Structure 1
Amino acid sequence: MGSSGSAAQRMFQLKLDPLTGNSEWVVIEENEAPQEESQKPLLATTSYLDMLNDSCRNRAFRQAIDKTVTNACHVLDIGAGTGLLSMMAARAMSHDDSSTSSCSKGRVTACESYLPMVKLMRKVLRANGLEKKVRVINKRSDELEVGVDISSRADVLVSEILDSELLGEGLIPTLQHAHDNLLVENPQTVPYRATTYGQLVESTCLWKLRDLFNNEAKALDGVYLVPSGADTVLQIKEQQFAMHCDAIKEEIKLLSEPFKVFDFEFWKRPESYRETKVHIKATNDGTIHAVVSWWLLQLDNEGTIFYCTGPRWICHPSSETKSKSSFPGMDNWCDHWKQCVWFLPEKGLSVHKDQEICLGASHTETSISYKVTTPLEKKDVGHCEPAQIFLSPERIAIYGDSNWRCAMLNVIKNALQQEVSPMCVVVDDSLFLPVAVANLAKSSHVIALFPGLREKGAHYLQAVASANFYSMDHLEVLRTRNQQLTMLDTHQRKVDLLVGEPFYYGSENVLPWQNLRFWKERTMLDPILSKNVLIMPCKGILRACAMYLPDLWRSRCCLQDIEGFDHSVVNSTLGACGDLPADEEGPCLSFSIWQCGESKRLSDTVSIMEFDFLKPISSCSGTAQVVFTESGICHGFVLWIDSMMDCSTELSTGPDKRYWKQAVKLLKKPVAVGSRGSTLVDCYSTEIKVSFDHSSGDLDIKYTYS
Structure 2
Amino acid sequence: MSATTACPKTRAFQLRVNPLTGDSEWIVVEEGGDREELEEKTSKNLLATTSYLDMLNDSYRNWAFRAAIEKTIKKPCHVLDIGAGTGLLSMMAARTMAKFEEASEAKVSACESYLPMGKLMRRVLRKNQMEKKVSEILDSELLGEGLIPTLQQAHDMLLAKNPQTVPYRATTYGQLVESPFLWKLHDLFSNEINLSDGIHLTPAGLERVIGIKKQQYVMHCTAMSREIRLLSEPFKIFEFDFWKKPESHGEIEMSIKACSDGNVIAVISWWVLQLDEEGSIFYSTAPRWTNCPDNGMVENCIPGNENWCDHWKQCVWFISGAGLPVLKDKLVLFKAAYDEIKISYHLKCDDQTCCNNFNFGNCLLELSPERVAVYGDKDWRSGFINAMRNTLNVRSAPLCIIADDSVFLTILISYLSKNANTISSFPGLQEKGAQYLQAIADSNGFSMDRVKVIGKRASYLLTDNLIQQKVDFLVGEPFYYGNEGALPWQNLRFWKERTLLDSILSEDVVIMPCKGILKVCAMSLPDLWRSRCSLKKVEGFDHSVVNETLGACGNLPPLLEGPCLPYYIWQCGEVEELSEILPLMEFNFLEPIHACSRKIKVILDDTIEFSKLGICHGFALWIDWVLDNKKSLLVSTGPISRYWKQGVKLLSKPLAVNAAYSFAEIEAFFDHSSGEITISSFSPS
Q: TM-score range by the shorter chain?
A: over 0.9
Aligned to 1:146: none
Offset of 1:444 from its aligned partner?
0.5
Q: Which runs of 5+ in 1 are unaligned?
A: 137-157
Offset of 1:479 from its aligned partner?
4.8
Aligned to 2:102: 99
Take 1:35 and 1:324, find their aligned partners in 2: how far apart are those partners?
A: 47
* 8 A contact 2:655–2:683 mirrored in 1: no
TM-score (norm 2): 0.94
* 8 A contact 1:540–1:610 mirrored in 2: yes
Query: Mapping of 1:31-70 within 5 angstroms?
Result: 31=32, 39-40=40-41, 41-42=44-45, 43-70=47-74
Offset of 1:325 from its aligned partner?
3.4
Take 2:272 and 2:217, find their aligned partners in 1: how far apart are those partners?
A: 18
Show CA shifts across 1:26-65 (max 9, x none): 3445237999586252522221111111111111100000
Show CA shifts across 1:597-655 (max 9, x none): 11101101011111000010134332223111111111100000000011220111111
* 8 A contact 1:307–1:330 mirrored in 2: no
Does residue 602 of structure 2 align to residue 622 of structure 1? yes
Offset of 1:489 from its aligned partner?
4.8
Offset of 1:363 from its aligned partner?
1.0
Does residue 662 of structure 2 align to residue 684 of structure 1? yes
Aligned to 1:641: 623
Show CA shifts across 1:65-107 (max 9, x none): 00011211000000011111100000110112x4233xxx411
Does residue 609 of structure 2 align to residue 657 of structure 1? no
SS at 2:411 equivalent: helix
Query: Mapping of 1:568-607 within 5 angstroms?
Result: 568-607=544-583
Query: Mapping of 1:345-494 within 5 angstroms?
Result: 345-374=320-349, 375-377=352-354, 382=359, 388-479=364-455, 483-486=459-462, 489-494=465-470
Q: Percent identity?
A: 57
Does residue 129 of structure 2 align to residue 124 of structure 1? no
Offset of 1:383 from its aligned partner?
7.1
Does residue 85 of structure 2 align to residue 81 of structure 1? yes
Does residue 199 of structure 2 align to residue 198 of structure 1? no
Aligned to 1:338: 313
Over 3 Å counting, the alpha-carbon distance change for 1:168 and 1:602 in structure 2 is: same
Letter in 2 for 1:368: I
Aligned to 2:25: 24
Offset of 1:673 from its aligned partner?
1.2
TM-score (norm 1): 0.91
Offset of 1:440 from its aligned partner?
1.1
Take 1:100 and 1:233, find their aligned partners in 2: how far apart are those partners?
A: 63
Aligned to 1:705: 683
Offset of 1:463 from its aligned partner?
0.7
SS at 2:84 equivalent: coil
Letter in 2 for 1:659: Y
* 8 A contact 2:519–2:584 mirrored in 1: yes
Offset of 1:583 from its aligned partner?
2.6
Offset of 1:705 from its aligned partner?
3.1
Take 1:480 and 1:519, find their aligned partners in 2: how far apart are those partners?
A: 16
Quote the RMSD (CA, aligned, Å).
2.1
Aligned length: 668
SS at 1:614 equivalent: coil
Letter in 1 for 2:448: M
* 8 A contact 1:435–1:468 mirrored in 2: yes
* 8 A contact 1:487–1:494 mirrored in 2: no
Take 1:394 and 1:88, find their aligned partners in 2: how far apart are those partners?
A: 41
Correspondent of 2:294 among 315, 318, 328: 318
* 8 A contact 1:609–1:623 mirrored in 2: no
Does residue 292 of structure 2 align to residue 284 of structure 1? no
Over 3 Å counting, the alpha-carbon distance change for 1:125 and 1:483 in structure 2 is: same
Show CA shifts across 1:438-475 (max 9, x none): 11111100000001111111111101111111001101
Take 1:378 and 1:423, find their aligned partners in 2: how far apart are those partners?
A: 44
Take 2:347 and 2:13, find their aligned partners in 1: how far apart are those partners?
A: 45
Take 2:647 and 2:34, find their aligned partners in 1: how far apart are those partners?
A: 30
Q: Which runs of 5+ in 2 are unaligned?
A: none
* 8 A contact 2:214–2:360 mirrored in 1: no
Offset of 1:532 from its aligned partner?
0.5
Query: Mapping of 1:182-261 within 5 angstroms?
Result: 182-261=158-237
Show CA shifts across 1:554-585 (max 9, x none): 11111111111111111111111111111322
4+ residue runs over 6 A deviation = 32-35
